[in-house]
Amino acid sequence: MTNNALHTIEAQIREQAAAYCESNNVPGFVAGVYHAGEQIVVAHGTANVATGAPMLEDTGFLFGSVTKVLTTTLVLQQVERGVLDLDTPVVKYLPDFALTAPGAADNILVRHLISHTNGIDADLYFPDAKGRDALKTYADGLASNGGTLFEPGEQLSYSNGGMIIAGRLLEVVTGLPFPDLLERDIYAPVGMQDSCTSAEQAILRSTAVGHFNDLETMAAKPTGMFTLPDTWGPAGGTPIGTIADLLAFGRTHLAGGESPSGTRVLSTESTALMQQVAYDMASPNVPPIGLGWVLYPFDDTTVLAMSGASPGGVSILCVVPEHDLVFTAFGNTPGAIMLQDQILQWLLSEHLGVQIPTLITELEQDVDLTPYVGTYRSNQLRIDVSIVDGQLEERVTYEPADESQDRIFTEFAGGMTSAPPQRYVPLRPGLFAPAGYPLEAFDGYLRLLLVSYHDVRDGQARFRNGGGRLTRRA
């Protein structure tokens, strides 16, 4: 790639970021692109409106769920060393691992943890524990808080619980606390020199905080919670680093597991395995999943992606093997995900010349809505689906298990735990779009806003999928 092309990318991102942040009250944004041996980082705005600290190219931020790809990489390192086996039941390594239903955990394989096919129903379970035993506390708590959505391997549902159990598994088989393992086996060999795993470390350098828009003034207010509890580390609660660090990690996966400095982090075979389809729901709103990576198809090009929410912030990491490209970004309000999607689509279509196919071409008339009506549940979440004016209407209710869960989730969500009812228009049987959106809005990352229903039996769907997460008919 020529410097001219890099210059074009840099100017485009700078322009897009400035315009979007201005019109959507996003205080700060930072992004990086590596392509064909060259890379750029662009920073815009403010890292923390309380202090006025600027967002710099080397400002740190919470990785959020991007961490899941790091956790998966750690698991495959241990598989290579013969310490773990992907097709062995988790209980062989963690004999006390249990869910609320007796025996429900026994058939969950190591592979199911990192491919989101484990069926653990604990996605809003936030035990508040710190330090060395945090992941043990989480694992022990599943026996009384972890339900089951489906039999292991039979469905796909985005799983924080699976990744946290994978982190606990790593602690048990290596004898190292998860943060120490991450530093030793990912940060060091990849060359992620500005990454850490705690607020105590992050405070020693420039670090962004999340913000939420005040509903009355629409002004961005800093989050009251910097990180999720330590119990969520392997799913993305605590790791923090920079754009340059995530570019180095993405480049390691581009290069078949070899870091930019030439250190072997993962074998070529394991790196390829992470990029292969592990499960495909065959529904437009749920991209196929590999191990750790979500595999977004854009025509003949696959984008390996993971986005990560943190309290008031959102990160993204995309690796495009066919085009030797890595894109990563962080914005310090949740709405920045839209800007990240815009930049990704620009990079694909304008810079790489990738055709972005239209995901939904037309609406189907006369779809029978009755199979989808009812109440669906998952961990601390209830979704009531009814028919109003020929559309589906969904009411989402958060039902906290206890005061501690309520406090943590409310802070994570910026105080907004209830939403107004949402109407959906049918695209075809079992697939719905939020009313009022143009269909082209769903061609990129925002396909996750579509809702699908699955496994219709006796005229009733058993599952609802929204944002990659399943809820089960109550």
Q: What is the pLDDT of residues 17-34, one digit of tens each?
A: 999 999 999 999 999 999
Taking all residues of the chain, what is their mean pLDDT, rounded to a whole number?
A: 96
Higher per-residue confidence, 6 vs 393: 393
Higher per-residue confidence, 299 vs 242: 242
CA gap 336, 344 in Å, rounded: 12
CA gap 386, 247 in Å, rounded: 45
Q: What is the rounded average pLDDT of the residues 138-153?
A: 97
pLDDT band, very low/low/confident/very high, at 361 (cuts 50, 70, 90): confident
Is 310 among the residues known to form the active site?
A: no
Helices (H), 333-375: 336-346
Looking at residue 5, its pLDDT comes to: 86
Looking at residue 10, its pLDDT comes to: 96
Is the pLDDT at 2 greater than 80? The verdict is no
At residue 466, the 3 state secondary structure works out as: strand
Is the pLDDT at 391 greater than 70? The verdict is yes
Establish if 417 belongs to a structural domain. Answer: yes
Q: Which tokens hold the place of 400?
A: 């906290």
Looking at residue 33, its pLDDT comes to: 98
* Beta-carbon contacts of residue 107 (< 8 Å; ≥ 6 apart): 89, 151, 152
148: β partners: 120
Residue 427: which domain range?
A: 370-473
Establish if 295 belongs to a structural domain. Answer: no
CA gap 338, 340 in Å, rounded: 5
371 alpha carbon, distance to own chain's centre = 30
CA gap 16, 33 in Å, rounded: 14
- Residues of the chain with pLDDT > 90, as a percent, come to 92
Establish if 328 belongs to a structural domain. Answer: no
For the ranges 93-97, 176-180, 181-185, 211-215, which has the lowest average pLDDT? Answer: 211-215
Which phi and psi angles does 198 have, rounded to 5°?
A: -155, 155
Establish if 281 belongs to a structural domain. Answer: no
Nearest 5°: CA angle at 395, between 394 and 401? 135
CA gap 474, 471 in Å, rounded: 9
Q: What is the rounded average pLDDT of the residues 279-306?
A: 95
Establish if 455 belongs to a structural domain. Answer: yes
Q: Which tokens hold the place of 276?
A: 């292969």
Q: At what angle do helices 67-80 and 268-275 cross, to 10 degrees?
A: 130
Helix (H) or strand (E) holding 408: helix 403-412
Looking at residue 276, its pLDDT comes to: 98
Place of tokens 């592979």: 111
Place of tokens 């809005």: 441
CA gap 44, 253 in Å, rounded: 27
Number of domains in the chain: 1
Which phi and psi angles does 357 have, rounded to 5°?
A: -70, 150
CA gap 192, 304 in Å, rounded: 20
Catalytic hit among 65, 195, 259, 270: 65
CA gap 154, 20 in Å, rounded: 40
Q: What is the rounded average pLDDT of the residues 250-266?
A: 98
Q: How many other CB atoms sit within 10 Å of the CB of residue 82?
A: 7
325: β partners: 35, 320
CA-closest candidate to residue 241, choices 66, 43, 10, 28: 66
Establish if 424 belongs to a structural domain. Answer: yes
Establish if 452 belongs to a structural domain. Answer: yes
pLDDT band, very low/low/confident/very high, at 3 (cuts 50, 70, 90): confident
Number of alpha carbons in the 13 Å side-chain half-sphere of residue 14: 11
Looking at residue 1, its pLDDT comes to: 58
Side chain identity at residue 263, one-letter code: T
CA-closest candidate to residue 453, choices 285, 295, 287, 280: 285
CB 247 within 8 A of CB 197: no
Q: Record the pTM.
A: 0.97
Cα Rg, the chain, nearest whole Å:
21
Q: What is the rounded average pLDDT of the residues 57-63?
A: 98
Establish if 394 belongs to a structural domain. Answer: yes
Q: What is the rounded average pLDDT of the residues 192-208?
A: 96
Q: How many other CB atoms sit within 10 Å of the CB of residue 463?
A: 20
The total number of residues shown for the chain amounts to 474
CA gap 261, 263 in Å, rounded: 6
